[in-house]
Amino acid sequence: MGQDNTGDTVSVALRPRSDGNQTVTLSGGLDFTCTGVLDEAPSAGRSELTNIVCTDGVNGTATLVYNASAQPSQFVFARPGANAGSLRF
């Protein structure tokens, strides 16, 4: 959980899917929820970009960054004209 560039609280969650991929969910409280699919296997020191589709119609992009142990370390998102931010795991 953290704050976006507008000072609002946002949170991110990763969930496994039955097909082996992950779903990422970005939540802005009651204001919006965005989802995206990460279809690359986690890899040390790498990152993965995905499009996010949001309930308020302001879609964007997100990047999940993996650390040297191939664990999620940072989530960066941008929703043009709305908000952007970077959250650490």
| In the chain, domain spans | 2-88
pLDDT of residue 7: 86
**Tokens representing 55?**
């309930």
Residues 6+ away with beta carbon under 8 Å from 31:
8, 56
- Tokens 């990460």 — which residue? 38
Would you say 11 and 85 are in contact if contact means Cβ atoms under 8 Å apart?
no
The model scores a pTM over 0.85: yes
pLDDT of residue 41: 87
Would you say 64 and 24 are in contact if contact means Cβ atoms under 8 Å apart?
yes
Task: For 34-79, write each residue's pLDDT tens digit.
Answer: 999 999 989 999 999 999 999 999 999 999 999 999 999 999 999 9
